[in-house]
Structure 1
Amino acid sequence: MARTGIQYADVRRAIDELIARGDSPSVQRIREVLGTGSFTTISEHFRCWRDEREKNRDVPPPRELPEAIVSLATDMWRQAQDVANEGLAHYREEANREVETARQEARKARQEADNAAQRESALAEHLRHREAHIEGLGAQLAESRTQQEQLQSRSDSAEQARRALKEEVAERDARLEQQARAHSDNVGQQRAAFDRQLAEEQQRNETTEGKLLALLDGLRQERADDDKAHQKRVRQLEARLEKSAGENQRVRQELKAARDAESQWQKRHGQLEDRLLEQKKAVEEAGSEMDRLQERLSRAERELEQERERYRRECDWQASLGQRLEALQKQVATLPAQPPRDPGASS
């Protein structure tokens, strides 16, 4: 049913204007003349105009003519009727055949006109759907722009967050680097102190060991000398004992004194052995202390390695965050400024 926006009179005036300009009327041209209106409404009025024109095709338009022209036309009409009546019988059959052929062609033309009207109606319906689709695309475009603005806002927020996080990471890196330097300096100082203390302990141990070895060599040399002297004296006493039995008692006393001296020497040698054992124990304690210092040094080196590992993890986390932010920026940059075209828009 035609809408009330465009009336039949409007379409007829537009058709008259087109005919006056020498253009063949069509739905598109009528709409261009009117400047508005749906294709369906214009098509229906255009079909009514064609039907009316077809019905009034043989009716001449009324005109006011002068009386002389009317009289002359009447005489000519009578003469033409006479001539026509003479040949009417001959041409009537042929005229009937031509009339029938014309009627068939007219029916065919009407059928073609109806088909064309149906096509125009279908085209108008399709255009209505296309207009609705275009309106939908406009809504999608507005929604896409809104989403793009939201994504841009999110991207700006993410960029601000990235900058703030970058600054925080830089500050944390600076703190970690400062702590690492301080820890490294502290470990270096401790290690230097441990090295100095270890060198001092080693120097003391070497000095003590040298003294002990020198004392032990002296004791051994002294014992060897005492053994030689004792054996010499024993031999002398034995010789004297053989020479003089009277001197046996004195020799025995001297032998006893020598044996007592040997006992004292053995006692002194035991004391020196005890001192040597004490020195060895001190050396072992110094070695244990050196092992403890070495363990403390190893523990400090492990703590430094842990600090370096935490620093590397912080750097990896910062790099991962930077990659994620770059990926988000690329995703926002690749968003289309307009919605994708509908595949059926060109049909």
Structure 2
Amino acid sequence: MARSGVQYQDVQQAIDTLLSRGDTPSVQRIREVLGTGSFTTISEHFRQWRLEREHNRDVPPPKGLPEAVVSVASELWKEAREAAHDALCHYREEADRQVETAKLEANDADQRAANAEQRESALAEHLRHTETRVEGLSRDLAASQADEAQWRTQAREAREEVAKWQSAYERAQQQLGEHQAQHADQLSQQQAEWQARLTQEEQRHEAAEDRLMSLLDSARQERAQEESAYQQRLKQADKRNEKLAQEVKTLEKSIYQYQLEAHAEQQAQQQLQAALNALEQRYQEAIKKLDDAESALAEEARQHDAREKAWQEQLWSRMDAMQRQLTDLPTSLSRDQESEREDKDSLE
């Protein structure tokens, strides 16, 4: 037989039981009283009960009830409302704390995710650099191995070359011993020769020293003579200097006089230059006036030529007119005579 679900009346009875015990109704406590039922179903019935309670909150109690019952019911109702309000505030605070905790956890998770992404990016970049470095190291290793083989070959060749040079060195040491023995013999012979030459050089040095002393004596005497001659020349030079000083003073006086004369001459030259400048200015003005006069004369000549040309043209035109008149004169005279004759004939 199928079990029926939790009904609204069951939830309402459980709420009444909780209120009678002084407990604040909640979904968890209602389920504890009922001992069964899903939280979703109990929550829906509990929401419906609260809506009905809000709707019937302002309904007055039925008439005919004792005042004590009404008072107790009102007190219980007031306490129930306060308890429900406290429980609601508690649930709201708890919900707010849970929401805040969830937000903090979400932010923390986002931060951890961002950090993880950054670490992943950094690790990927580090891995890429590591791979690049490994590739470079691999290339360097291959090159180093090639260089190592080359250096090994060169080292083997160098050892062979050292062995050759070692044998050559031993031969050179042997030859050096022989040469040293020969050189010692030659050195002893040269020392004997040098000793003999040194004795000869000492003898020549003593003779040269004697000659040097005699030369020094001669040089001292010549120096004394030159010193005396130098003193005489110095006195003569002092006399010449005094004479030159007097000549310099005379020349300075002459130069000063010449400077005075030159200054006067310069002033006269400046005056003469000023006069020349004035004459030059007057000359330029005269040249300008002459140019203006020549221009005016040229203009007058041009105008005269124009007037003369016009007069000649007028004269020629008048002469042409007179020539035409003289040419036409016989004709006009004959016409006049004919007209007079006609007039006479008409009068007769």
- TM-score, length basis structure 1: 0.32
Q: Whose Rg is larger?
A: 2
Structure with the higher fraction of residues in helix conformation: 2
**Relative CO higher for 1 or 2, CA cutoff 8 Å, sep ≥ 6?**
1
